[in-house]
Amino acid sequence: MNSTVILIQCADRTGLVASVAKVLAAYSLNIEAMREYVDVEASLFFARLSCSGSLSDGQHLLEDLKEKLPQDASVIINPPSPKKLAVLVTKEYHCLGDILSRNFFKTPETDVCAVIGNHDYLRDFTEGFNVPYYHVTTEDKSKEAFEEEVQQILDRYNPDYLVLAKFMRILSPEFLAHYPNRVINIHHSFLPAFAGAHPYRRAFERGVKLIGATAHFVTPELDAGPIISQQTIKIDHTYTVAQMVEAGQEVEKTVLNRALKLVARDQVFISGNKTIVFE
Amino acid sequence: MNSTVILIQCADRTGLVASVAKVLAAYSLNIEAMREYVDVEASLFFARLSCSGSLSDGQHLLEDLKEKLPQDASVIINPPSPKKLAVLVTKEYHCLGDILSRNFFKTPETDVCAVIGNHDYLRDFTEGFNVPYYHVTTEDKSKEAFEEEVQQILDRYNPDYLVLAKFMRILSPEFLAHYPNRVINIHHSFLPAFAGAHPYRRAFERGVKLIGATAHFVTPELDAGPIISQQTIKIDHTYTVAQMVEAGQEVEKTVLNRALKLVARDQVFISGNKTIVFE
Amino acid sequence: MNSTVILIQCADRTGLVASVAKVLAAYSLNIEAMREYVDVEASLFFARLSCSGSLSDGQHLLEDLKEKLPQDASVIINPPSPKKLAVLVTKEYHCLGDILSRNFFKTPETDVCAVIGNHDYLRDFTEGFNVPYYHVTTEDKSKEAFEEEVQQILDRYNPDYLVLAKFMRILSPEFLAHYPNRVINIHHSFLPAFAGAHPYRRAFERGVKLIGATAHFVTPELDAGPIISQQTIKIDHTYTVAQMVEAGQEVEKTVLNRALKLVARDQVFISGNKTIVFE
Amino acid sequence: MNSTVILIQCADRTGLVASVAKVLAAYSLNIEAMREYVDVEASLFFARLSCSGSLSDGQHLLEDLKEKLPQDASVIINPPSPKKLAVLVTKEYHCLGDILSRNFFKTPETDVCAVIGNHDYLRDFTEGFNVPYYHVTTEDKSKEAFEEEVQQILDRYNPDYLVLAKFMRILSPEFLAHYPNRVINIHHSFLPAFAGAHPYRRAFERGVKLIGATAHFVTPELDAGPIISQQTIKIDHTYTVAQMVEAGQEVEKTVLNRALKLVARDQVFISGNKTIVFE
Residues B206-234: tens digit of each pLDDT:
999 999 999 999 999 999 999 999 999 99
Map residue A108 onto helix, strand or coil. Answer: coil
Sign of CA dihedral C86, C92, C95, C101: positive
pLDDT over 60 at C1, yes or no:
no
Of A33, A101, A254, the CB nearest to D101: A101
Assess whether B73 and B87 both reside in one domain. no
Q: In this structure, what is the dihedral angle of CA atoms D205, D211, D216, D221, given to the nearest 10 degrees?
A: -10
Give the Cα separation of B6 and B58 in Å (integer): 10
Altogether, the residues listed in chain A come to a count of 279
Q: Is the pLDDT of residue B57 over 90?
A: no
CA distance B94 to A238: 32
Q: Nearest 5°: phi and psi at B228?
A: -100, -45
- The pLDDT value given to residue D32: 86
Q: Are residues C93 and C52 in the same domain?
A: no
Query: Would you call D273 and B210 a contact, using CB atoms and an 8 Å cutoff?
Result: no
Domain enclosing residue D160, as ranges: 83-277
Decide if pLDDT at B277 tops 80: yes
Domain end (from B38, B60, B77): B77
Choice among D98, D160, D223, D266 that is catalytic: D223
Q: What pLDDT shows up at residue C235? A: 97
Query: Are A71 and A94 part of one and the same domain?
Result: no
ipTM of the complex, rounded to two decimals: 0.94
Chains touching A (at least 3 CB pairs under 8 A) are B, C, D
At residue B2, does pLDDT exceed 80? no
Nearest to A226 among C207, C230, C279 (CB): C207
How far is CA B238 from its chain centroid? Answer: 34
D190 shares a domain with D95: yes
Looking at the structure, tell me whether residues D18 and D112 fall in a common domain.
no
The pLDDT score that the predictor gives to residue D1 is 52
For residue D10, report the phi and psi dihedrals to the nearest 5 degrees: -160, 175
Read off φ and ψ for residue C232, nearest 5 degrees: -125, 160
- Which residues touch A231 (CB under 8 Å, ≥6 apart)? A190, A212, A213, A251, A254, A255, A258, C210
Residue A1 in this model has a pLDDT that exceeds 60 = no
CB D237 within 8 A of CB B277: yes
Catalytic residue IDs of B? 223
In one-letter notation, the amino acid at residue B200 is Y
Rounded-to-integer distance, Cα C268 and Cα C68, Å: 23
The values of phi and psi at residue D86, to 5°, are: -110, 140
- Can you give the pLDDT at residue A139? 95
Beta carbons within 8 Å of B141's beta carbon, 6+ residues apart: none
pLDDT of residue B257 exceeding 60, the answer is yes
Q: Are residues D157 and D246 in the same domain?
A: yes
3-state secondary structure of B136: coil
What is chain D's mean pLDDT, rounded?
A: 95
The minimum CA-CA distance between D129 and chain A, rounded to whole Å, is 7
Q: Which of A98, A160, A223, A266 is catalytic?
A: A223
CATH of the domain at A185: 3.40.50.170
Is residue A64 within a helix (H) or strand (E), and if so which, with residue range? Answer: helix A58-68
**Chain B interface, Cβ < 8 Å to A:** 14-18, 21-22, 24-25, 28, 30-38, 53, 234
CB pairs under 8 A between A and B: 49
DSSP one-letter string for B105-125: TT-TTEEEEEEEESSSTTHHH
User: What's the rounded Cα separation, in Å, for the pair C123 and C127?
Assistant: 6
| pLDDT (tens digit per residue) in A200-222 | 999 999 999 999 999 999 999 99
Answer yes or no: do C180 and C60 share one domain: no
- With an 8 Å Cβ cutoff, are A209 and C226 in contact? no
Number of independent structural domains in chain A: 2
For β-strands C83-89 and C161-164, DSSP reports them as parallel
Look at phi and psi of residue A270 and say left if phi exceeds 0, alpha if psi is from -120 to 50, else beta: beta
Q: How far is CA D153 from CA D90, D147, D260, in A?
A: 16, 10, 22
Cis peptide before C82 (omega within 30 of 0): yes
Cβ-in-10-Å burial (0-12, 13-18, 19+) of D220 comes to: middle
With vertex at residue D127, the alpha carbon angle to CA D126 and CA D133, rounded to the nearest 5 degrees, is 70
Pairing verdict, β B44-52 and B30-39:
antiparallel
How far away is chain A from the Cα of B19, in angstroms, using its nearest Cα?
8
Q: Are A245 and A256 in contact (CB under 8 A)?
A: no
At C169 the pLDDT is 96
SS3 content of chain A, % helix, strand, coil (to 5): 30, 30, 40
Chain A CB contacts of C206 below 8 Å: 191-192, 227, 273
Chains that touch D (3 or more CB pairs under 8 A): A, B, C
Longest alpha-carbon distance in chain D? 64
D71: pLDDT strictly greater than 60: yes
Q: Which residue has the higher pLDDT, B53 or B196?
A: B196
**pTM here?**
0.96
Q: Is B183 exposed, middle or buried (0-12, 13-18, 19+ CB in 10 A)?
A: buried
The residues, ordered by sequence, that sit 6+ positions from B142 with a Cβ below 8 Å of its Cβ are: none
Q: Over 70: is that where the pLDDT of D97 sits?
A: yes
C104 and C58 share one domain = no
Within 8 A of B257 by CB-CB distance, chain C residues are: 250
Q: Chain A: residue nearest C255 by CA?
A: A209
Same-domain check for residues C147 and C233? yes
Supply the pLDDT for residue B32.
86
Mean pLDDT of A102-109: 92
Q: Which pLDDT does position B30 carry in this prediction?
A: 87
Kindly state the percentage of chain A with pLDDT values over 90. 90
Q: Which of C190, C196, C161, C189 is nearest to C176 (CA)?
A: C161
| Residue (of C201, C203, C223) closest to C214 by Cα position | C223
Residue of chain A whose alpha carbon sits nearest to that of C276: A237
Res D54: pLDDT: 82
The pLDDT confidence band at residue B1, using thresholds 50, 70 and 90, is low
Name the nearest CA neighbour of A188 among A146, A233, A151. A233
Q: Which of B32, B47, B77 is the C-terminal boundary of a domain?
A: B77
Upstream peptide bond of C108 is cis (omega within 30 degrees of 0)? no
Same domain, yes or no: C55 and C172? no
Whether residue D162 sits in one domain with residue D91: yes
Let me know whether D39 and D146 are in one domain. Answer: no
Residues of A in contact with B37 (CB under 8 A): 33
Shortest Cα distance from B90 to chain C (angstroms)?
A: 14
Question: Is the pLDDT at C170 greater than 90, yes or no?
Answer: yes
**Chain D residues whose beta carbon lies within 8 Å of the beta carbon of residue C22:** 18, 21-22
Distance of residue C195 Cα from the nearest chain A Cα, in angstroms: 10
Instruction: Assess whether the previous peptide bond of A82 is cis (omega < 30° from 0).
Output: yes
Q: Taking CA B111 as the corner, what is the angle to CA C163 and CA C114, rounded to the nearest 5 degrees? A: 20
**What are phi and psi for residue C136, nearest 5 degrees?**
-120, 105
Contacts of A98 in chain D (CB under 8 A): 97-98, 101
Show which residues of C are catalytic. Answer: 223
Please give the pLDDT value at position D57: 87
Contacts of A237 in chain C (CB under 8 A): 37, 271, 274-277
Q: How far apart are CA A135 and CA A120, in angstroms?
A: 5
Question: B touches which chains (3+ CB pairs under 8 A)?
Answer: A, C, D
The DSSP output letter for D269 is E
- Alpha helix locations (H) across chain D? 16-26, 58-68, 94-104, 123-127, 143-157, 173-176, 199-206, 241-264
Q: Which of C132, C127, C126, C85 is nearest to C257 (CA)?
A: C85
Task: Give yes or no for a contact between C78 and C233, defined as CB atoms under 8 angstroms apart.
Answer: no
Cis peptide before D192 (omega within 30 of 0): yes
Supply the mean pLDDT for chain B. Answer: 95
Mutate to test the interface with D, among B216, B235, B237 (most CBs of D within 10 A): B237
What CATH number does residue B16 fall under?
3.30.70.260
| Predicted local confidence at residue D132, as pLDDT | 98
Q: Which residues of B touch A25 (CB under 8 A)?
A: 15, 18
Burial (CB count within 10 angstroms: exposed 0-12, middle 13-18, buried 19+), residue D260: buried
**For chain C, percent of residues with pLDDT exceeding 70:** 99
**Domain termination site, one of B77, B102, B120:** B77
